[in-house]
Each structure stands twice: as C-alpha cells, then as structure tokens.
Amino acid sequence: MHPILTHNLGFPRIGADRELKRALEAYWRGDLSKEALEDTGRTLRRRHWQQQADAGLSWIPTGDFAWYDQVLTLSATLGNVPVRHRAEARNTGAEPGSHSECGCSEPIDAPEAPEGPCRQVDLDTLFRMARGRAPTGAASSACEMTKWFDTNYHYLVPEFHPDQTFELSYRQIIDETREAIALGHQVKPVILGPLSYLWLGKEKADNFDRLSLLEALLPAYQQLLDALADAGAKWVQIDEPILVLDLPAAWQQAFEPTYHRLQNRAVKLLLATYFGALGENLSTAVQLPVAGLHIDAVRAPEQLLNVVDRLPVHKVLSVGIIDGRNIWRTDLRAARETLAELTERLGERLWLAPSCSLLHVPVDLKREQALEPELKSWLAFALQKVDEVVTLAQLLAPEPAPSALAALEASDQSVRSRRESRRVHNPAVQERLSAISPTDSQRQSRFAQRSAKQQALLQLPEFPTTTIGSFPQTDDIRQARRAYKQGQLSEVEYRNRMRQAIADAIVRQEQLGLDVLVHGEAERNDMVEYFGEQLDGYAFTQFGWVQSYGSRCVKPPIIYGDVARPRAMTTQWARYAQSLSRRPVKGMLTGPITMLFWSFVRNDQPRSVTARQIALALRDEVKDLETSGIQIIQIDEPALREGLPLKRKDWGEYLDWAVEAFRLSASGVNDETQIHTHMCYSEFNDIIDAIAALDADVITIETSRSQGELLDAFEQFSYPNDIGPGVYDIHSPNVPPVEAMVTLMEQAAQRLPKERLWVNPDCGLKTRGWAETEAALANMVSAARRLRERSSDAA
C-alpha cells in the first residue's frame, strides 16, 4: 500500500509573535526600510515552510503568504490595479528599466520599454489599494473591504470595469515558489480560481456583468500557471470556494469551459472547495478537467461518500478532515473510522488535509503556558493540526507507527475528558434558558412611540453626531494595561489611569462639539475579549493571535462551556463617564452574535443555544446600565451578516435565532432608553428584513468605502428606524474633507428621511492616532452643522 499523501491549504502568515504585523506598521510609519520588511517576510515564510516539512507533510503550500491579503495579492498579480493607485506607482523614483517597482525577477530589455501593468505594481501599490496611503505615492481612496465568506477574515474587494484588461504583472507567488523549491521543499502553490475571483469582486460601472470579463481574465491565469510551472511547481492548488454557494446558472455553466482552457500539461491542478457542501454543484466539480478535488469534510461530512461515488477513477480526492477554522482537537479515532472505507476504495488517490487554510487559527498551542492543563488538552492550533493530518495518514497505514498509536490514545483521553468535565455544564444557565418566553425578546412599544419619548428626553439636534465607541489606544493606555496584567501596577493605580483616559476622551469630544459621547473604551483590550474575560464559560490564550485584515490581529476567546455573567462588566466605567458630562454618553456592549462568531465556539451543542446564553448575560448588563442612568446603550453586531449560512436554504433558521438573541439582550429596557447597534463591511441587501427585525432604535453602518452603495438596501426596503451612515473610512489614515462628508449625507437624505439620519464614522477609532482622529471628527462636526444650516435654509 502506498503511503497516503498529506498537504496543507495555507498557513498563518502573521507569525507566532505577530512579527509581520509589527514590521508592516513600522514600515508604514517610516521606522523600517522596505528591505527590512522584506527580510521579515522571508524569515517568516522560511520558518513556516520548515515547520510544515518537519511535521512530515507531503506537499507544502506557497502563495499563502500575503503582505496584506491574498485576494489583493492576486489582483496585483493579474494587473487589476485601479487607475487611482496604478498612476501613483510611477512616482516611486524607481530607475528606468528596473523592476524595483514590482519586485519581479524578469529582465526588462531597455529603459524605453513600453509601460505595461508590470511597470505599475509594487509593494506600496498594494498598500495604497488596501489603506489609501503608503510610504510612497499620493494618498487615494482605499479599495472596499468585506468578509471572506462566513469568516472574520477581511479581503480587499477587486474592482471591475467593462474595459478591464488583465496581464501577469506582479510575481510574488512565482518568486516565493521558486524560493521554497530552492530550499528543498516539495511545494504546491495556492491561487484563487478565476470564477471565485470574479464572484468576489464588484462592478464599478453600471449595466455590465463582471462574468463577461472571464474571457479577458483567463489568458492571465494561463500566464500565471505557465510561470509557476517554470518555477518548478508540479501541482497547483486552485481554490474555487464559490462552488459551495447557490450559484446562478451562468456561473455554474462557466466552470467547464474555464477549466478546459486552464488545462496545463506542465502542472496538475487540485481544485479546492471549502466552508460547505458542493450540493447542486457536485456534478460540475467532479467532472472538471483537473487532477484532483479537495472537499470540506468538517463543515459538510454528509457529502463525503457522494463525492467518492461520483469521482472519476483517475482523480485524486483530498479530504479536509481536520477543522481549519476552530481550535478543538480532532477526535482521531472517529476521523480514522470515517476514512477507513475511503482508504480501501481510493488507495493512493486519497490525500488528507485540513478542511481549509489554517489562516483562521493561531500558530502554536505549545506556547500557551497559562491555560489550565485539562482545557489545553482539548485544543489544537495550526502546527498541531498539521501534526494531526500526518498522524491520521500514519494511522491508516497497515502497521501504524508507535508514535501514531500514542497520539490516538491521547486523542481518546482528550475526548473523554471534555465529554465528562464539570466545567462545561452549568445547571443554572440551563434552567434560565428553559424559562425564556416570547415576550422576553419584545420591546414595550413600537419604534415610533419609543422615538418620541427618547427625543423628548435627549433633545438631540437634527443630524446628531456621535462615534462608534472606541478612541485611540495610545501607548500610555497599552503600557498601563500591560503593567497591570503583569502585576507591576496596582488595581487602584490602573483604574485611576483608565479614568484619566476616559476623562480626556470626554473633554476632547465636548470640545469637538459631538452630540452623543462615548467613554472611549480605554480599559478594553478587544471588543470581544474584554467581555469574555468577565463571563463564565470563556477561556483566553496568551498568543492565540489570528489575522483579521492587514496588520489587524485579534485574539479570539474560547467558549468551552455554558456562558453566564457573574457580575456587572461595564457599569462603573459608564457611570463615571456620564458623571463628567451633561451630554448623553453611550453604554457600549458587544452583541451576542458577535460574541459568538468572533470567538472559537464550542462544537458540542448548537450555536443557537450558546447565542441565547450570551444574550441572557448581556440582558443583565443592559438592565444594569439603564439602572445606572445610561440613556443610550449600543449593542454592536458587526458579525450578524458574517454568520449567515452560505446556502440560502439555511438562512431562515439562522436569522430567526440570531435576531431573537439580539432582541433578548436588548428588550428588557424602558421605552425611553435608546438602543443602538453597529454593523460594518457587509452586504445588507439580502438580510435587510432581519436587520429591521432587530428593532434597534438606531443602526450605524459602513458606507464610506462603498460610496454610499450600502444605503440602497435601506432605501428600497424603507427601513423604519434611525440610521447613521458612516461618513468616513477609519481604516485609512486620510483625514476626510468636510464637503465629501456633506455630499455623502446629502445623498443619504435623498434616500431616507433626514429626520432619521445620524452622522458618524464608519467604525471605531481604536487603531487611529489622536491627531488624525480629532482632525477627522472636527470635519465631521462641521459637516453636520453645514447640513443643519442647509436644512434650515431649505425649510
């Protein structure tokens, strides 16, 4: 029997100590040279390749490393760079005829060579596309950013125009493949497939369909495959995750001719799907002219035998048997039983892998020394998951190695420990869940009645101004938090430092003239982690960092047991902030759905049950804030759209329990208490009725990067409550001009009643500096005043 081949779909790129994050931010500040940044990336890549090789993988991925985002890298590779960014790339001072602009290794014959896409793409071009600014080139509006399927990872949305051209223009994946092969690794480059790439983009002109660009796009893909073959690749993993979606007929029918065009004798293609079942696309996927197919057997185990039955006898089947999106240790015995029949039927055509890229999990569990040993024994991070893949292949051999059998016994013990542990189940929480009634998720009165009472109490002007919640986390704030956690700062000293930061934020907001204030969240490390640290059923890591976008990393909590709130979490800070101002100060909470999806959630009960547990804990906090005199309470739910199942048939059930969980958390207050929520970087058109069903008095959303496009859903639906369309992009350091914000709000007022419009940034300001924050907010307040003046003149 031939050994079963093992591989990985992608590895975390940020580094176990967030080395890439720190290097990127230093480069953007001007504190690190481009050469030093590139050295950091090279060091990380080589380390990760070696770690996977040492684990025993048969194939190691290349192309999974990205300076900001893998979709952005592909856009650059294909020459799909918006004109506003491409034009600026010529002003970098590069030598004529050189490739210092693009980093590619191909020669240019003469300085007078015509300028093509390759002469217009360099590392700073990527950063201008992602951030709107880079160390070189002029500032420009950044590309839109949104969630990668139903994950908390964000990608940069490709922009498409009717006259779009594509050409191999940036060679990062090619050069890194050549680099890995030179180091002696057996590699499998990873690229996003052409149909998924088009699907994930957006038309930037009216009356054309981006699918019509497929014919122009495919030659660039052929160039890329040829270049990867020339670099030494034997296999290329080409990801088409949209095959797990409900595809329109035209898109489904486009797959066969596309992959006939992409057949390449020099490289074999492994078509990778993940995050769900192939469903109606099963016949399409198994018949494509590729050498192998990867499927997700964690998210969709029910598809496994159907795929095996339909797969042509000459094709490899890669089974994603290890969960690439969660941190729970694999039940190796159960996985081996699942694979046993496949081993007999497929033989050497069976490959094993994680279900998807390991981008979504932390790097190394071994570094977690503070986790309670029992809980730690239930977990596996990226390196451990690679080990599990290799171990499973060994366990399927006729005579498994002793080390594999020892790992199997350890897995059995972990499964028993978790199933029997008393820390997982809380009878009091179960009793409270069973006592929930329908009235618990209903406000006392309808919005129109509540709104009148709230305005009588709050006396807010037309176009009221506010922010989303967080203010800059300065070095002083971070140092104080770090010193307190390390025992170098007493609790009294720490609280005084946080009070000083809150007081400073209140003074700054009053001086700016904001109408509704926030306390700034100085005491919060993260909008989910902060609350999870104060709830039963949550655990935390020291180094469990995961990339959210670019240099932004999060450390998701682990929900391992029943969730309950032992004591108040935010009331003391909210009370103190409100005591400093006569203007209303919002109480700030993270909603139950976001607390659920931005954590590593337990997989031993339905997510709906865990969501209701969190909602009840937050309900108690909302009531305590109201009792403390807080008149406005914001319950953020940026993950509501993210949690939407990928198959439309599953939407109804999810939205029912997700909406109920939010309302359960928010509905215990009086009419006079105004409930806000916030959502960002999501498409709302298809769930606008569910957003309305949340019945929040005010919703704030992102509209700046999409130039107000997201408001279309609220207009067409006739959204009934108040709305704050974000007027500037907080993920860019650019300070927005007053007139741009006025224009955006006037566009909003043409779609929605001006009496129901608020003025705010599109997200929290935690990652920005005070200088740019105050400048941007001053312009925002000026914009609101100008709107009021124009409204008054019109009246």
Q: Which two tokens stand for residue 520?
A: 């700034």
Which listed residue (154, 360, 676, 731) is catalytic? Answer: 731
Nearest to 9 by CA among 68, 70, 75: 70
What is the 3-state composition of the chain as percent helix, strand, coil, each rounded to the nearest 5?
Answer: 45, 15, 40
Beta-strand (E) ranges in 74-175?
145-147, 154-156, 159-160
In the block, residue with structure tokens 């660039």? 220
Query: Which of these, 510, 558, 568, lies nearest to 537 by C-alpha position?
Result: 558
Token match 């893909």: residue? 221
Measure CA 563 to chain center: 24
pLDDT, tens only, 424-456:
999 999 999 999 999 999 999 999 999 999 999
Nearest to 283 by CA among 260, 263, 312: 312
Q: How far apart are CA 142 and CA 159, in angstroms?
A: 11
The model's pTM: 0.88
- For the segment 681-686, the average pLDDT, to the nearest whole number, is 68
Question: Which has the minimum average pLDDT: 269-278, 603-612, 682-691?
Answer: 682-691
Number of H helices, E strands in the chain: 28, 21
Chain centre to alpha carbon of residue 421: 32
Q: Measured between alpha carbons, how far is 422 from 409 in angstroms, rounded to an integer? A: 22
Q: Known catalytic residue: 731? A: yes
| Reported confidence tier of residue 682, pLDDT bands at 50, 70, 90 | low
Per-residue pLDDT at 110: 28
Cβ(588)–Cβ(634) below 8 Å: yes
DSSP 770-789: HHHHHHHHHHHHHHHHHHHH
Which pLDDT value is given to residue 139? Answer: 87
Name the CA dihedral angle for 6, 7, 13, 18, rounded to a multiple of 10 degrees. -10
Q: Which of 260, 267, 296 has its CA nearest to residue 59? A: 267
Q: What is the pLDDT of residues 115-154, one digit of tens each?
A: 444 446 899 999 999 999 999 988 888 999 988 999 989 9
Provide the percentage of residues in the chain whose pLDDT is more than 90: 84
Tokens 């920005």 found at: 768
Segments in 347-446 forming alpha helices (H):
373-376, 382-395, 402-420, 427-434
pLDDT of residue 2: 67
Q: What is the pLDDT of residue 107?
A: 33
Confidence of residue 681 (pLDDT cuts 50, 70, 90): low
Distance CA 748, CA 617 (A): 36
Q: For residue 727, how many other CB atoms are within 10 A of its CB? A: 27
Q: Is 752 helix (H, G, I), strand (E, B) or coil?
A: coil
Average pLDDT, the chain: 92
Alpha-carbon Rg for the chain, nearest whole angstrom, is 27
**What is the rounded distance in angstroms from the CA atom of residue 8 to the CA atom of residue 63?**
12
Phi (first) and psi of residue 212, to 5 degrees: -65, -15
